[in-house]
Amino acid sequence: MRNLVTRRRVGFTLIELLVVIAIIAVLISLLLPAVQAAREAARRAQCTNNLKQMGLAMHTYLDSNQCFPPGNLYTVNDGAVYSRTGSSLRSNYAGWAVSILPYMEQTPLYNAYNTQLHNWNVANSTVYQTKLSTQICPSDIGGGAPVPSFGIGGVATPYTNIATGSYKGVAGRYAHTYAGTVITSDLFWDYGSFVELLGLEPASRGVLTATGVGGAGTTTISNVIDGTSNTMLIGEYATDEAAGGITARAMWAGSWGYMSLGSAGASQGVRGIPSYAKCLNYIAANRCRRAFASFHPGVMNFAMADGHVRAIKVYADATVYRNLATVNGAEIISADSY
């Protein structure tokens, strides 16, 4: 009689296979947040490094020129190009980011810029159309994407295909004093006609402002009465879209108004929201175009005036936040308050 040998089954049943798949799915779901957090940590580290490089470049410029670079440089000697009413205020020259290019290993790019011509002149397009990696935070959605056109001073397209970035210089906090009178309107130290006409209160001034008009000059170390470690110099500015037909992104080489400068305001809605459209739900457009924000959870990175980089909490006290933006407010700021 032939012996029958029972063969052992090889493989998995369907139930066993489903259990294994379920276990793998659980493990992946547990691992994915850690991977995302690690990637964001790397992006934030690169962003911090960008600001550190700019802070060091600022101090190298300071050593060479005994002052920080102008935030925006204007002149009143351009005849019809300049109007004291602001209607054709196009007399803007090199700003802070262009000024520090030689100190960021970008001498060839700086040499392509003609400082005797207006910032928007087509001869300077080689510079303002160049995408710089050090001006882009890896967490910034769409950072570096060019703006097709940007109009100023009643001219629709003096700038074309201007490169964007993720950072703006700190011009100060909102000013609310006109010729010694308190007003409700928002005034900004980045805008030439405000500085020229309105006599903004000195206590609201930051390190990087509009200069060359209204008697406003560049900032020296001795001007930073509040201390360089307690004064913001450059901060993150990020948004996920443009709205209203006017770009809301930072334009690193631009030197008109809010193109490369921001300001600190009191309302929670003016900071920490990396969306221009959402910001408009809380405050006016001029504030949103100057509101510092980032895609880092809960914080925004700032290079301070002494060169170190500090993460400022999005929900830091509004008064403390505004005080950090000025150079001579004489405020007392606790290190654990922001």
Q: Tally the domains of the chain.
A: 1
CA 190, CA 325: separation in Å to the nearest integer?
13
In a domain, 67, yes or no: yes
Is residue 14 domain-resident?
no
pLDDT digits (tens, 9 = 90+) for 77-117: 554 343 444 434 557 888 999 999 999 999 999 999 998 88
For residues 175 and 187, what is the distance between their CA atoms, to the nearest angstrom?
5
Residue 38 lies in a domain: no
More confident call, 148 vs 12: 148
User: From CA 216, how far away is CA 64, in angstroms rounded?
Assistant: 20
Which of 29-38, 60-69, 268-277 is the most confident on average? 60-69
Is residue 293 a part of any domain in this protein?
yes
Read off the pTM: 0.84
Residue range 268-294: average pLDDT?
Answer: 79
**Separation CA 135–CA 142 (nearest Å):** 12
Residue 318 domain flag: yes
Task: Return the C-alpha torsion angle 71, 263, 195, 226, nearest 10.
Answer: -80
Domain membership flag for residue 6: no
User: Residue type at 295?
Assistant: F
Cα 270–chain centre separation: 13
pLDDT (tens digit, 9 = 90+) per residue, 170-216? Answer: 998 887 665 566 666 677 888 877 777 656 677 888 999 988 877 78
Q: Contact, 270 vs 204, CB < 8 A?
A: no
88's tokens:
């054709």
Q: Is residue 58 part of a domain?
A: yes
143 Rama sector, left if φ>0, alpha if ψ -120 to 50, beta otherwise? beta
Q: Give the domain range for residue 204.
A: 44-324
pLDDT (average), residues 23-52: 81
The pLDDT value recorded for residue 215 is 76
Q: Note whether residue 338 is domain-resident.
A: no
pLDDT at 301: 93
Mean model confidence pLDDT for the chain: 81
For residues 249-254, give the mean pLDDT: 90
